[in-house]
């Protein structure tokens, strides 16, 4: 019995460390994705996103990888400012769930161009053969300021 308890206690820090590492990695990937969106870097986004990604965007449309890339290339996703505050990251069964607040200023030929937009978001990251990939996303506009 004592041996079982010792093994159990020794395994706790390892699990915590592994989860913390996953959380740190997902936090870094979130930042990489944010910067790639801000720069319109479709090559970097194609590395970060699953080809099977599904997004419920703030315009109430459900889009996949080809449509996302098309919208970026055609200037429909184009921001002069894009900040993200992460409120929570949970790693559950090899799924990373990220929730927070985004503040952005669309520019050019985009909806709400020149206005400050705040939205709540949820990003879902999953482990694929070549690492963590952004697999699902939902964003809801909570305020638009002139």
5 assigned to some structural domain = no
1 assigned to some structural domain = no
Element housing 102 (H / E): strand 95-106
Q: What is the value of pTM for the model shown?
A: 0.84
Tell me the residue range of the domain where 126 lies.
14-145
At residue 15, the pLDDT reads 45
At residue 18, the pLDDT reads 52
Site of tokens 């315009």: 59
Please report, for the domain that includes residue 24, its CATH number.
Answer: 3.10.450.50
86 assigned to some structural domain = yes
3 assigned to some structural domain = no
Instruction: Give the list of residues 6+ apart from residue 95 with CB closer than 8 angstroms, or none.
Output: 124, 125, 126
Q: Using an 8 Å Cβ cutoff, are 104 and 72 in contact?
A: no
At residue 10, the pLDDT reads 52
Tell me the C-alpha distance between 23 and 30, whole Å: 10
At residue 16, the pLDDT reads 45
Domain count, the chain: 1
84 assigned to some structural domain = yes
At residue 17, the pLDDT reads 46
| Tens-digit pLDDT string for the chain (146 aa) | 554 444 545 554 444 445 569 999 999 999 999 999 999 999 999 999 999 999 998 888 999 999 999 999 999 999 999 999 999 999 999 999 999 999 999 999 899 999 999 999 999 999 999 999 999 999 999 999 99
7 assigned to some structural domain = no
Structure tokens at 34: 């944010």
8 assigned to some structural domain = no
93 assigned to some structural domain = yes
Residue 122 φ/ψ, nearest 5 degrees: -135, 125
């Amino acid at each position: 019995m004592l041996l079982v308890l010792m093994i159990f206690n020794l395994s706790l820090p390892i699990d915590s460390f592994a989860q913390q590492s996953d959380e740190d990695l997902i936090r870094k990937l979130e930042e990489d994705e944010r910067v790639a969106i801000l720069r319109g870097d479709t090559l970097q986004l194609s590395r970060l996103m699953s080809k099977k990604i599904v997004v419920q965007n703030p315009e109430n449309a459900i889009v996949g990888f080809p449509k996302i890339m098309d919208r970026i290339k055609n200037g429909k996703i184009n921001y002069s400012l894009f900040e993200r505050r992460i409120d929570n990251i949970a790693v559950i069964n090899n799924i990373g769930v990220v929730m927070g607040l985004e503040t952005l200023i669309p520019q050019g030929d985009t909806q709400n161009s020149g206005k400050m937009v705040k939205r709540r978001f949820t990003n879902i990251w999953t482990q694929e053969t070549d690492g963590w990939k952004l697999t699902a996303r939902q964003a809801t506009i909570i305020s638009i300021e002139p």
